[in-house]
Amino acid sequence: MMGFRGLTIAALVCLSACSVQERDFLGAGGSGGSGGGTTTDASSTTGTGTSTSSTGGCAPVEGCFDGVDDDCDGFTDCADPDCAEGAVCVRAPVNFELGVVVGETEPCPDGFTADERLLFRGLSGGGCEGCGCTPNPTDCAVDLYLYASRSQCEGDDALALGTRADPIGFECDGTPINNGAVEWGGVRAGLFDVIQTCTVTGTAIPGPAEWAESVKFCRATSVGEGCDAGEACVPKQAPATQCALVSGSATCSGYARREGDWFQGYRDTRTCSSCSCTASGGDCNNVRVQLGNDYSCFDHASLSQGSRYCGYAYSPPAYLVGEPTPSRCTARTTLSGSLDPTGQSTLCCVE
């Protein structure tokens, strides 16, 4: 018969070995206490059944994500009350990866460091860029028509008669427009031609590809049991969002939110044609034809475009005076090809 001293020692041993230990959930990432982050091969029964670890003994705490009833209390992983605060059951569709979603630059939390994957949506690339244009000075040209007599000049109300002379520019060298002939009946100016050009600069390239939004998916390090059929036990995370990820477009039965517009990359086949420029806006409205006299470039008479002069002149040179309106240039290039997102993925999230 056991004495009082023997009974006391037995009670103390039982108290030490049989008390419930608090679960350290930092072990979910693979760096915690016994059974916390790695899967151990064992036979287990969830609910009220019993379990025996592969070592044949009972652990002091329940490993919540290893599929084993580590502390031999008849409950495995999420079914064990020890795991109530740090573990949660989530839907586990076939071919989905379980994890959490955090900001792109945020680290993956403990328990979700098995893999990390960046996801993107809202792809844009814009058009071509890099072309430049420098406007050249606007120039003007005009055709002059000589009348054989003053009567022909004065009778040309339709401004359609006369013999075409050599073209003129803004410089005067004293050469008469009628080659020094004695006959003179007058001169008519046609409409000005606006000469506006640009110098092309730069090389066209497609605009940079940009995503409107990005997140990081962190896959669960270990997935446990102790949940209803079709579910799995994973670490409970807040404020990170518990989600499941699968490639392609998929349904999200059992989840509160479906986001099927995430992608993992893009394919860019865009090319740009060579740069070109179009000049516009220049005019010769402030330019006039200046008529000299007797091989001299002094101001003998002045004509606007589309007008005539029927007065006297002897071997007159002619030239342009005034300031043309500057032109502006527009760069042009053609974009071909396309910018397409690749690696479509579906996120199913609990909230």
Clarify whether residues 77 and 92 are in a common domain: no
**Residue 8 pLDDT greater than 80, yes or no:** no
Higher pLDDT, 164 or 6: 164
**Residue 18 pLDDT greater than 50, yes or no:** no
- Residue 159 Cα distances to 126, 153, 163, 168, angstroms: 52, 9, 12, 19
Distance spanning both ends of the chain, measured CA to CA: 63
Buried b / exposed e along 26-63 (16+ C-beta atoms within 10 A): ebbbeebbbbbbeebebebebeeeebebeeeebbebbb
CB 75 within 8 A of CB 51: no
Clarify whether residues 213 and 108 are in a common domain: yes
pLDDT digit string, tens, across residues 301-320: 999 999 999 999 999 999 99
Q: Which domain holds residue 254?
A: 88-124+208-262+341-349
**Residue 27 pLDDT greater than 70, yes or no:** no
Cβ-based burial of 260 (10 A; exposed 0-12, middle 13-18, buried ≥19): middle
Percent of the residues in the chain that have a pLDDT greater than 70, as a whole number: 84
Q: What H or E segment, with its residue span, contains residue 217? A: strand 210-219
Measure the CA angle with vertex 221, ends 84 and 67; round to 5°. Answer: 55
pLDDT digit string, tens, across residues 120-134: 999 999 899 999 999
Average pLDDT, the chain: 85
Clarify whether residues 30 and 79 are in a common domain: yes
Q: Tell me, what's the pLDDT at 167?
A: 86
Clarify whether residues 160 and 213 are in a common domain: no
CB 186 within 8 A of CB 153: yes
pLDDT band at 56 (very low <50, low <70, confident <90, very high): low
Q: Which two tokens stand for residue 22?
A: 């608090």
Clarify whether residues 185 and 42 are in a common domain: no
Residue 8 lies in a domain: no
Residue 71 lies in a domain: yes
Clarify whether residues 26 and 81 are in a common domain: yes
Residue 240 lies in a domain: yes
Clarify whether residues 220 and 174 are in a common domain: no
For CA atoms 58, 60, 61, 66, give the dihedral sign.
negative
Residue 133 lies in a domain: no
Q: Tell me, what's the pLDDT at 50?
A: 38
Number of domains in the chain: 3
**Residue 234 pLDDT greater than 50, yes or no:** yes
Q: Tell me, what's the pLDDT at 23?
A: 30
pLDDT digit string, tens, across residues 75-134: 999 999 999 999 999 999 999 999 999 999 999 999 999 999 999 999 999 899 999 999
**Residue 5 pLDDT greater than 50, yes or no:** no
Clarify whether residues 160 and 119 are in a common domain: no
Clarify whether residues 156 and 173 are in a common domain: yes
Clarify whether residues 156 and 246 are in a common domain: no
Residue 175 lies in a domain: yes
| Bridge partners (DSSP) listed for residue 186 | 147
Residue 200 lies in a domain: no
pLDDT digit string, tens, across residues 119-173: 999 999 989 999 999 999 999 999 999 999 999 999 999 999 999 998 899 999 9
d(CA 171, CA 294): 17
For 269, other C-beta atoms within 10 Å of its C-beta total 10
Residue 276 lies in a domain: no
Q: Quote the strand ranges of 125-178, DSSP E.
A: 128-135, 139-141, 144-147, 163-164
Cβ-based burial of 336 (10 A; exposed 0-12, middle 13-18, buried ≥19): exposed
Clarify whether residues 255 and 231 are in a common domain: yes
Clarify whether residues 72 and 98 are in a common domain: no
